[in-house]
Structure 1
């Protein structure tokens, strides 16, 4: 099977590197392109057998499975300009949440799916979110799930939870990185610990926390129970967080949902559905 990647920006590059390093695909079976070919050429310097195509049409024609890794408002143009090249036997995958599989299917005769990656997939870890079109063949459902399984834990989701699932899986690393950075900065500000030491301690703590969860040694609630001794330091800290955080996370999800509505309206105006 040959895989095409249209768009080698941040997420496109992550998918390429993860697929190759996990051995999900041989570099020689990968066809890539980008609006600025320099980004694609940089990838070829690392993986010399990767095929660089000059145009989107060349990638589509050379590939069985095509990932469209461009900005939401650019997906429609990529499809419209190359409709004749998407034969029925191919599978087209969007990686952006505002473009639904129904919108892809409204224009294309081939199997369609959505694959929302996470930056954690670069470490061959975390979750990837899959949604299949109603006309997506069983063959392509199996193939895409298998490919996603090489670099992540694939989870199939319904259209109605796309935004919140993406917030948790795809945006979550940035959200919790921000919280962790604030945690580190506060430690440095209030105490005598230096920034480098605080960063190492916090980073390794997160890695260890992930291992505990991954190995099913503890759940999130039991982790708090084990560490939070009644009347102890951790309990005091949790009390501060309960008091000060308030409804910050509710507001976060409200804000991302509002932005998602705006993004969807933009793609609806293009696709007409």
Structure 2
């Protein structure tokens, strides 16, 4: 098993670490981790004593085969300045952030790189992870990373030009649909006699069941709607409201995320001096 280094133990870094441990694809001894605030990484070591806690990012680089950069996009450039001269050609550097392309990363470190964009759904070994590889990334490295990704997700290799929309669906999607589910609950509570606790229980379990139906391939999204929506029935009346009132809502959503992404790209390009 390759030694996995994780620099940054915030939300996504922690999700990756705990997902791999829970899936038993990694043992604590396979991990070396660090964080800018070391006490945050210490919490993971206390929970999983075999994990090695490194005092610095350089120490992680010296010990890991795969190095995951789990920090914010605008923190990566300064981080690389401190570690890039310690990275060897046989190591794979992996970013988990969408505004930084593998080409930009590769140009900076002059070695094999990859991008691994996870989702919160990976925490239960479900959902998708998005992968991209640099030109110098060997087939063996690619297969090893895909194997690691497949233990907690459905790894999907994507082209650079669909990175943002893919990440919107995979990574942001759970938050978007969580918001819609909460609005659904509030609508039920405000217009009927149901209480919020009951409405929440019913909605959460409905969503779990919906996921099971899709996951087991019993229905697709369109066929599921057809099965529930009986012509002239109550569901059909609800669908009419959705058709009339959602309108271009999701068009606006993707426009908004892409506008913010363009801003992030501009800031990253200022740092790296290389186009996305």
TM bin, normalised by shorter chain, reads over 0.9
| Unmatched segments (≥5 aa) in structure 2 | none
Specify the SS of the correspondent of 2:105: helix
1:43 aligns with 2:44: yes
Match of 1:20 in 2: 21
1: distance between equivalents of 2:186 and 2:34? Answer: 40
**CA-to-aligned-CA distance 1:185-231 (integer Å, 9 cap, x gap):** 11111111111111111001111101111111111000110000111
Partner of 1:5, secondary structure, is strand
| Number of aligned residue pairs | 273
- In 1, Cα distance between the equivalents of 2:39 and 2:190? 42
- Written as runs of structure 1 = structure 2, the 5 A alignment for 1:25-174 is 25-174=26-175
RMSD: 0.7
Q: Secondary structure at the match of 2:219?
A: coil
In the TM superposition, what whole-angstrom CA distance separates every residue of 1:227-256 from its partner, at most 9, and x where no partner exists?
001111100000001111110000000000
In structure 1, C-alpha distance between the alignment counterparts of 2:43 and 2:32, rounded to whole Å: 14
Secondary structure, in 3 states, of the residue corresponding to 1:82?
Answer: helix
Q: TM-score, normalised by structure 1?
A: 0.99
Following TM superposition, the consecutive aligned residue runs of length 4 or more in structure 1 with deviations greater than 2 angstroms are none
Q: Where does residue 237 of structure 2 map in the other structure?
A: 236
2:257 match: 256
User: Residue 10 of structure 2 corresponds to which residue in structure 1?
Assistant: 9
Q: Output one character per residue of 1:120-171: Cα deviation in whole Å (capped at 9) or x when no partner.
A: 0001110000011111111110000000000100000000000000000000
